[in-house]
Amino acid sequence: MPLQQYIITEPHGRLGIWHITEDEAFFVRKLPLTNVEKEEIAAVSGQKRLEKLAGKLLLQQLTGWAYTLMKDDFGKPFFKDSNVHLSLSHSGDYVVGIISEQPVGIDVQYLTPKVERIAPRVMNENKFKNLDVNNPLEHLHVYWCAKEALYKAYGKRHLDFRKNILIEPFNYTLAQKGVFPNKITEGSVVTDKEVQRFDIYYKKIKNYILVYAIQKSH
């Protein structure tokens, strides 16, 4: 499926959504892979390989230029010789990516009841008391994705999702009425050394929830 692109709130920000309907050969024809990248692709198979290939092509189309993708000491991806920030996520047949001049994180998740079982590990109890009565599962997924997006944007390990990554409560009914890009709330990464604050945006794609977070400039 052709790439869906969106201009986001940052002056030079762009978000892409790719629904994978193509086979591996399609992406290989489109991508000028280095030997290192070929080795990375060869190390995985099946859907994982398609996700990697789709993510690389997505970033290429978002940036419009050939890039070398690196990882820092914490495993966070970055473009070599560029100050542009990026983030990728995948779930099911969807791969999403975002680039911005500000630190940014993105997450997409297929709606599944299993999140109700594992969410207490990362969310404070009071959040469960305020879930939307008509769409509690979707509301819960937005919180979940927001936590993941902030974790990626911060880019360092050793964060406690409950203590260090905080999401302001929000009204999910109102969030659904907004037009994408739709800022629904704010979040913070709080550590002993610093506090980083983020604007949080949301979009529902069929049975998927997409959330991205961009660090506030001041």
- Evaluate whether 20 touches 4 at the Cβ level (below 8 Å): no
Q: Side chain identity at 161, as an amino acid letter?
A: F
Q: Which CATH architecture has domain 106-215?
A: Alpha-Beta Complex (3.90)
Helix (H) or strand (E) holding 86, with range, is strand 85-91
Q: How far apart are CA 120 and CA 39, in angstroms?
A: 38
CA separation, residue 48 to residues 70, 107, 138 (Å): 19, 16, 25
**In this predicted model, what pLDDT tens digit does every residue of 30-83 receive, in sequence order?**
888 888 888 888 898 889 999 999 999 999 888 887 778 888 888 888 888 889
Q: What is the pLDDT of residue 130?
A: 86
Domain extents in the chain = 4-102, 106-215
Q: What's the fold here for domain 4-102?
A: Ribosomal Protein L22; Chain A (3.90.470)
The contacts of residue 116 (CB under 8 Å, 6+ apart) are 137, 140
**In this predicted model, what pLDDT tens digit does every residue of 153-211 receive, in sequence order?**
999 888 999 999 999 999 999 999 988 888 999 999 999 989 999 999 999 999 999 99
